[in-house]
Every structure is written in structure tokens, then in C-alpha cells.
Amino acid sequence: MPNADKFEVVKLSELPETPKRGLAFLECATRKDINAKVTFDGLKQKTREDVMNRFDYWLDEGICDKYFHGFPNHPVYHQCWVFKWKQAGAYHRLYGFLANPRAITNKGFRACILVSHAQKNTANTDPSELAHAESLRLNIAVMTEVRKAFPERKQP
Amino acid sequence: MTHWTTQSTDAFVRRITFDFWTQLQKRMDALPLTQLDLANTFGVSESAISQTLNNSQNPRLTTLVSYAKALKLNVAIVAYPDDDPSGRPVNSEIFTICWEKANRPRTFGQAGALPSVKAASSTGETLIIPARKGNYYRVNAREALTHSDLAHGNIMFILGAGASLSDPVQAMETAITQAPRRKVA
């Protein structure tokens, strides 16, 4: 069955990529479950900047599990990723996955593609969110858009 | 593309405050010290500590310093020239890492005596750069010059056994004399 959903990978102009990392949102007009960008755009200025700080920290190759982390030891979801913040007692999560779109010209480059937002009352990860992100990571149409957003570098 | 912190001074302040609080949070984890411990130190509630640590909206300098001191950290306000076209600020933790790797120079003399990888690389010499725990890096400067993202650590080095850290300059000189005669790959 042909894939009817039209995906788009959107980078934030105010969040330039670094030599080793880049971040973008997955968008799809026909899929309400892909809501990370909509949620991010709707954040109040202060919260938005708090989240941007977390993005920056990851782009700078920082490590802080309180702000974000992957699932490297999980047998299935080891390419999934989550950014975290707390607001008014609620736990907020942006789920996504890591990709390596420049396998030829920049093997070490990692793109984080954010997919969905979840708000909950506990700090625990919901496996269904990871399953959702993983299914999109394995979607050929999605990965084609990821490679378009983060094309291989031109050789000198 | 310009970085989001170039949009306003407030945005920039929020970013550097976030970086500072993150350094302190990591210090709390490392000690370890809880928010309750800090609350007892300052004689305030735990929620007040939480609010402060999550407040990136232009906190008072005295607040930043008192929290750092409570965690047995010192504070420097660093201004630096930056020609990055995007305007992305350098995380304060990176300055701390560099200072540690330079064996914590405390005077202009000690800082001035440190080798400059960029300057030395043009001569093609091998550099000995002190590292933590008495180790040092032996850097093939010619190789370093060929890497475009030197700042990201893509330099070739050998980690060796090292010298006393009491005097960074002396440590560096000792490290040079003790450098193994291995060829850098």
C-alpha cells in the first residue's frame, strides 16, 4: 500500500547545526500524532527558550540526563531520543530519533528528528512513544526527507 | 543562519544563565548535594531553591555567586572575542574544561606560558599539553593544522604519564622531558 502521508523535516533557522549535530522537527499535515513542532511553536516565550537551551546543550555535545537522553541499551529503541522539561508540576517530553544522514561525507554527524510531544504526571518513559518514534525512523519516506534536510556535504 | 540568542539581550542572558545553572546542577550531582541540603544552607525552603535553579530570567549576580560558593565553586565572568557568524555563545562549561586541561593557570604569566596550538602548529613542532591527573597530551601540530575542526578535538594525541601539577609551567616542562619517543601515528 503506497504511503499517502506527506512528511516534511523542518529545521529551525535560529538553531544552526554544529559540525557534529543538527536538530529538526518532523511534520505531517495528515498525522495528528506527529505533533512535536506544533507543541513547540505553541510554547510561551520563556518555556520555548528553556527548551531551546536544552537543544543547544545537546548540539554542543553536552551530556545531561536531566535535559535529554537516548536509550542506548534498549534492544529496539536504541536510536530513539527524548528532550525533557518540567512545567507547573507536569513532565513534558519531546520524543524523536537520531539519524545519520551524512554517512558518506560526515559519518560522525547526528541529526535529531523530533516527532511527538507528551505531557504526563510521572517521569517514566512511555514505551508507546518510543515505538511511535521508531516506526517513523523506519519509514522510508521519512528518512528520504531527513536526507533532504541534512544533505551530504559537497566534496572540496 | 543566526542563533536564537542574537534576537535579544534577554534571550542571551537566559542562555548563559541556563549554562551556569547547569554547571551547578552537575556539581550537585557530583558531590552529591541535594536541593534540601542547599535549602538548609541558605535557610530557605526546598521549593525556593528549585525555583532559583530553574530561573533563567536575569538572576542577580550575588545569587549566582552565593550558590556557586555554597557548592565550593568559584566564579569568573568571561568576555571573549568571537567571530562565529551565527552568534552561538560558547557554553561556560567549555571554558571550565579548557581551564582544567591547561592545568588551572592562575596568573597571566602561567597562562601566557601555555603553548598555543594554533600558533605552534604553523612551525610543525610537536606540542606537549598538560592534561588532568598528571597526564599530558603530545600533539603532532602539523596534523592538528590539517584538521578543520580543531576546536572539536580532532587532533592527534597520545596520553602519557605525567608530572606534578603544582606548577603548570614546570609540569609542562617536565612532561616535555619525559615525553615518550613514540612517533605520533
**SS3 for A116?**
strand
Q: Are residues B84 and B120 in the same domain?
A: no
Q: Are residues B110 and B92 in the same domain?
A: no
Q: Are residues B25 and B74 in the same domain?
A: yes
Mean pLDDT, chain A, rounded, equals 94
Q: Are residues B13 and B41 in the same domain?
A: yes
Query: Do residue B25 and residue A15 have CB atoms under 8 angstroms apart?
Result: no
Q: Are residues B173 and B94 in the same domain?
A: no
Residue ending a domain, choose from B81, B98, B115? B98
Domain range holding B121?
104-177
Q: Are residues B87 and B122 in the same domain?
A: no
Residue ending a domain, choose from B52, B81, B98? B98
Residue partners of B74: CB distance under 8 A and separation at least 6: B68
Question: Does A110 or B126 have the greater pLDDT score?
Answer: A110
Query: Do residue B11 and residue A49 have CB atoms under 8 angstroms apart?
Result: yes
pLDDT greater than 80 at residue A121: yes
Q: Are residues B109 and B93 in the same domain?
A: no
pLDDT digits (tens, 9 = 90+) for B116-153: 766 444 444 565 665 665 565 655 544 444 333 333 33
The residue type at A118: A
Q: Are residues B80 and B120 in the same domain?
A: no
How close, in Å, is residue A41 to chain B by CA atoms? 14
pLDDT greater than 70 at residue B84: yes
Among the partner residues B4, B25, B26, nearest to A14 by beta-carbon distance: B4
Q: Are residues B10 and B90 in the same domain?
A: yes
pLDDT digits (tens, 9 = 90+) for A20-73: 999 999 999 999 999 999 999 999 999 999 999 999 999 999 999 999 999 999
A108 burial level (CB within 10 Å; 0-12, 13-18, 19+): exposed
- ipTM, two decimals, is 0.90
pLDDT for res B161: 38
Q: What are the residue ranges of helices labelled H in A86-139?
A: 127-137
Which pTM does this prediction carry? Answer: 0.79
Q: Give Rg (Cα) of chain A.
A: 15
A-B contacts at Cβ under 8 angstroms: 54
pLDDT for res B70: 95
Residue ending a domain, choose from B98, B115, B150? B98
Q: How many CB atoms lie within 10 A of CB B182?
A: 9
pLDDT for res A125: 84
Query: Do residue A14 and residue B88 have CB atoms under 8 angstroms apart?
Result: no
pLDDT greater than 80 at residue A110: yes
Q: Is residue B183 part of a domain?
A: no
Residues in chain B within 8 Å Cβ distance of A12: 4
Q: Is residue B184 part of a domain?
A: no
Q: Is residue B55 part of a domain?
A: yes
How close, in Å, is residue B177 to chain A by CA atoms? 34
Q: Are residues B121 and B37 in the same domain?
A: no
Residues in chain B within 8 Å Cβ distance of A19: 149, 152
Q: Are residues B90 and B142 in the same domain?
A: no
Instruction: Give the domain CATH number at B70.
Output: 1.10.260.40
Q: Are residues B26 and B92 in the same domain?
A: yes
Residues in chain B within 8 Å Cβ distance of A64: 22, 25-26
Which residues of A have a CB under 8 Å from any CB of B? 12-16, 18-20, 46, 49-50, 52-53, 56-57, 60, 62, 64, 66-67, 86
Our count of domains for chain B comes to: 2
Half-sphere CA count of B155, side-chain side, radius 13 A: 22
